[in-house]
Amino acid sequence: MEQQLVEFMGNHPNLFMALLTVIILLIWNIIGEAIQGIKNLMPQEATLLINHEDALVVDVREESEYLQGHILSSINIPANILTDKMGRLEKYRNRPIIISCMSGSRSASACSLLKKKGFEKVHNLKGGLIAW
């Protein structure tokens, strides 16, 4: 088995590097959530949190994107001005907050920012509005 792996690495270095990259990204995805303390929620989990714990949904897309469609009762604070508008979220500090964007990448950054500002119950909508 080991000999075949070494042979594969020698014959296909690009494929091996791609495999290694995918493995590293998967591991980072799994442990990154635990390290940052930010939970990625599937849409079903987010719905339960909204319905049972009165979670606030913050959409960090640009206003033009938000106006094209958004989660009902969400508020729009674009990611690029989130730091300046942090005061708008202070009254929700003790409620669960679900951050959403189109695919989940902007919202992940916004979650990290909120955690740094002391918000404890911060969640990322995994897959964003595409998954929703």
Q: How far apart are CA 128 and CA 132, in angstroms?
A: 6
Catalytic residue (choose from 82, 101, 111, 125): 101
Count of CB atoms within 10 A of residue 3's CB? 7
Write down the number of H helices and E strands in the chain.
6, 5
Give 96's DSSP letter.
-
Secondary structure element (H or E) that encloses residue 89, with its range: none
DSSP per-residue codes, 30-49: HHHHHHHT-EEE-HHHHHHH
Contact status, residue 63 vs residue 76, Cβ threshold 8 Å? yes
- 111 tagged catalytic: no
SS3 (DSSP) at 80: helix
Cite the active site residues: 101
